[in-house]
Structure 1
Amino acid sequence: MKRLSSVSLSSIEIFCQLYIKNSTKEVALALGTSQPKVSRALNALRDVFDEPLFIRTNNKMVATELAHSLYHSFSDILSCAGEVETDVINSISTPEPHIVISTVPQLEIGLAQQVIEEADNNGVSDSIPISTVAWSERSEQQLIDGEIDAVICFKPSTRKELLSKSIIQHRGGYLVARAGHPLWQSPTIDNMINYPMVKLVTMPFPANKSPIGVYAKTTGKPMQTYATAPDLGSAASSLLNSNAFMIVGVKSAVDFLASINGLKACKMEYAEDQFLLKGFSYPTVYLWLKRALDGKVQAPMWLQRTLESYIVKSHK
């Protein structure tokens, strides 16, 4: 007889089923497997015990004396294996749902941390996984499909499956450039258009246009784009290593850039800011959330309030 350790649990299960059903075909149907696999398992057991175990009689697989003896032991083994599996499953705690928020780079600083804090304040585990992903034209469909949980962006959605809520308009841009930039001697828009611009990949204007870029064209000096940055960190690097500048309207993003050694930020003159915005609507931040079939928002109220509060605070 070969070593019992070579006997697999699947073979033992097939043995026990065959003992009860007396038919390889019925065993295969019960276990959702093939008859050849049942036969291979039986042959492996016969090889281990050097005994037929089952003898075909009148189209039935009849157990031998040894098979009768083995059945009770094999049944106990299967029972123990089932208990172990159940204990393992029960010992694994169900993880908190993962919250994914799609947002524009201007409104990413501190977002995940604020959601974590508010989750804790609302009786939700503060260890809940929170992540942010960059907003894109695909974000709308991703939210509908349940791949993400909320969207913060600069455009409304017209999809009936979504709540598209206008949260705040930001009025007043900030000039950001390296501290030693010549612009700081006279930070007017007519001086700005003499230098290249750093743009973020998502601008709060239609077709990703820049109001100062539109103004530059009217003067016969088309604005040069030094870089289109995917995030604030990349934008800061471009500003530090060039004579480029950027205009940002979200105060938290401005504060982040101004906190970087070597960069400086200053609020633009009101009259010039208004002049640039002629022909443009005031930049608006929207929050998108998915609706259920009955029209109710699926996201928990605490998350909706947290995101709205974050957007408003980011502009102060």
Structure 2
Amino acid sequence: MVSAMDRLKDINIFSFQVFVLVYESLNSLSVAQTLNVPASKISRCLNSLRHALDDPLFYRKQYGFEPSEMATRIYPEMKKILELAGQACSVDQDENNRLKQELTIACPTGLCVKLSRRLQEQAREHGQHFTFIVKPINHHVDNEIQHGNVDVAISFESSHSEGVKSEFVTKGTGLYVVGNHRHPLWQRSPQPQLKEIIDYPFIVADCPAFNDRIDPLEVYANDIDRHLDVEVKVSGLTELADQLESTSSLTFVGQKYAAEFLNRMSDLEVRRLPQDQFELLHQRMGVPSYYLLSPPRGRNLPDWLLPAMSEFITSSVVLTEPGDKE
């Protein structure tokens, strides 16, 4: 009889990394986007682990995964294996190479696009190398920073937790409206209006600590005695695109690079929300603020990292004057 250990001999560290990230995000498509690999590769890694451990590990639900009992039991051990592998790679390196490690960054989904590539370019300019793991932010990010599981986070709120430093970066200055390119909204007006948008189902792109309880468009609709039909809340950009392509829903995106990513999809239309409508939308709830959260003493972070992330955030959310279409 072939033992589990015999079957595990063909499993590599990357498969362990895939398992840990899927367990933490419960979304295989966002993991594929984070690791910059095809979704099929994520599926192959999970299938190899399922075969080796003789367990489904994750059950597919309507909008993500649910871990099995075994997945919950082995997750801490898988995490330790990844940490030990990282430590083994740093043995006998000098001070500069000691920084040659993985850096985990948690951020809103809309800021995941292009972030790791921009940081890799900055690292090369400084003669350094890092593996950047970019994952969606959650409500426990303070605790993750305190325990060293996250190195830097981009958040919509500051932190008052001990062992976490907060730095205000900027405020968002605009929004994009996104929907199927055949959506009737585009025929009504070249510049979308809020009163027209709330005539249609809406998908909320979930942003922890900003719109996770109520979205600004819901507040606006309530103020004018209208009802907003929130069809679904999603946390991943690929999941958002899939929903938009196959439904008559609309959504808002507040980050330029995320909007560019969606605009490259042939079935989607992306337009800037007129500035007067943006200001009307945020009359009561306010515009999103962006903060960098990090350990107080940097925990061996390179000196250029936080300034580079601040510059990236600003370039993504401080938008130029809108045109009819992006």
TM-score under structure 2 length normalisation: 0.63
For the Cα contact (< 8 Å) 1:203–1:209, is it kept in 2?
Answer: no
- Match for 2:103: what amino acid? I
CA RMSD of aligned residues (A): 2.3
Instruction: List alignment gaps of at least 5 residues for structure 2.
Output: 1-87, 320-326
Which stretch of the first structure deviates more once superposed, 229-238 or 214-223? 214-223
Could you tell me how far apart the structure 2 residues matched to 1:286 and 1:140 are? 13
Which position in structure 2 is the counterpart of 1:46?
A: none
Which position in structure 2 is the counterpart of 1:310?
A: 312
Which position in structure 1 is the counterpart of 2:126?
A: 122
Query: Counterpart of 1:228 in 2: which secondary structure?
Result: strand
Match of 1:143 among 142, 145, 148: 145
Which position in structure 1 is the counterpart of 2:133?
A: 131
1:163 aligns to 2:168 (yes or no): no
Flag the structure with larger Rg. 1
Question: Identity percentage over the alignment?
Answer: 22
- Match for 1:159: what amino acid? S
Query: Counterpart of 1:314 in 2: which secondary structure?
Result: helix
CA distance 1:201–1:262, change in 2 (3 Å): same
- Match for 1:201: what amino acid? D
Structure 1 residue runs of 4 or more that deviate by more than 6 Å after TM superposition: none
Match of 2:185 among 183, 191, 204: 183
Could you tell me how far apart the structure 2 residues matched to 1:205 and 1:102 are? 15
Query: Counterpart of 2:304 in 1: which secondary structure?
Result: helix
1:258 aligns to 2:260 (yes or no): no
- Match for 2:174: what amino acid? G
Match of 1:202 among 207, 231, 242: 207
| Matched positions, count | 223
Question: Which runs of structure 2 are paired with 1:26-45 in the superposition (5 Å)?
Answer: none
Which stretch of the first structure deviates more once superposed, 201-210 or 216-225? 201-210
Which stretch of the first structure deviates more once superposed, 202-211 or 233-242? 202-211
Could you tell me how far apart the structure 1 residues matched to 2:218 and 2:271 are? 19
For the Cα contact (< 8 Å) 1:290–1:298, is it kept in 2?
Answer: no
**1:49-90: per-residue Cα shift (whole Å, max 9, x none)?**
xxxxxxxxxxxxxxxxxxxxxxxxxxxxxxxxxxxxxxxx99
TM-score under structure 1 length normalisation: 0.65
Instruction: List alignment gaps of at least 5 residues for structure 1.
Output: 1-88
- Match for 1:218: what amino acid? D
Could you tell me how far apart the structure 1 residues matched to 2:173 and 2:270 are? 16
1:108 aligns to 2:124 (yes or no): no
Which position in structure 1 is the counterpart of 2:252?
A: 247
